């Protein structure tokens, strides 16, 4: 896993400071259960299935997708090769 974090605050709203945190992940065939702080994700390679409660979405390479914070989610890779994706949050 790689972690990318900004060194300085992002100029998003006057009077508040934000930083961005970007984590790159690789998921082998199978699934993983996570609780994320991320605001959204982006699939770099492969197809990623995301289940949060009853909601299930399938994300292809080059797709960005929203993620609810502090909700248990199951990420699945039904393919034969690893899926690479990033999770991004502003804090």
Q: Answer whether 29's CB lies under 8 Å from 80's CB.
A: yes
CATH code, domain with 21: 2.60.120.10
pLDDT of residue 26: 94
pLDDT of residue 73: 86
Domain that holds residue 67: 2-90
Q: Mean pLDDT by 10-residue block, N- to C-terminus, for the chain (91 residues)?
A: 61 68 91 80 94 90 84 90 90 70
Domain count, the chain: 1
pLDDT of residue 4: 57
pLDDT of residue 40: 86
pLDDT of residue 53: 82
- List all residues 6 or more positions away from 2 whose beta carbon is below 8 Å from its beta carbon: 23, 24
pLDDT of residue 39: 81
Q: Report the alpha-carbon distance of residue 53 to residue 42 in Å, rounded.
A: 20
Q: Report the alpha-carbon distance of residue 21 to residue 54 in Å, rounded.
A: 27
- List all residues 6 or more positions away from 16 whose beta carbon is below 8 Å from its beta carbon: none
């Amino acid at each position: 896993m790689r972690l990318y974090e900004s060194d300085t605050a992002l100029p998003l709203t006057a009077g508040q400071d934000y930083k961005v945190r970007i984590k790159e992940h690789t998921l082998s065939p199978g699934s993983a259960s996570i609780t994320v702080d991320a605001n959204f994700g982006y699939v770099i390679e492969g197809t990623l299935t995301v289940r949060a409660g009853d909601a299930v979405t399938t994300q292809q390479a080059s797709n960005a997708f929203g993620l609810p914070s502090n909700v248990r989610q199951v990420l699945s890779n039904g393919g034969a090769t690893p899926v690479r994706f990033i999770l991004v949050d502003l804090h």
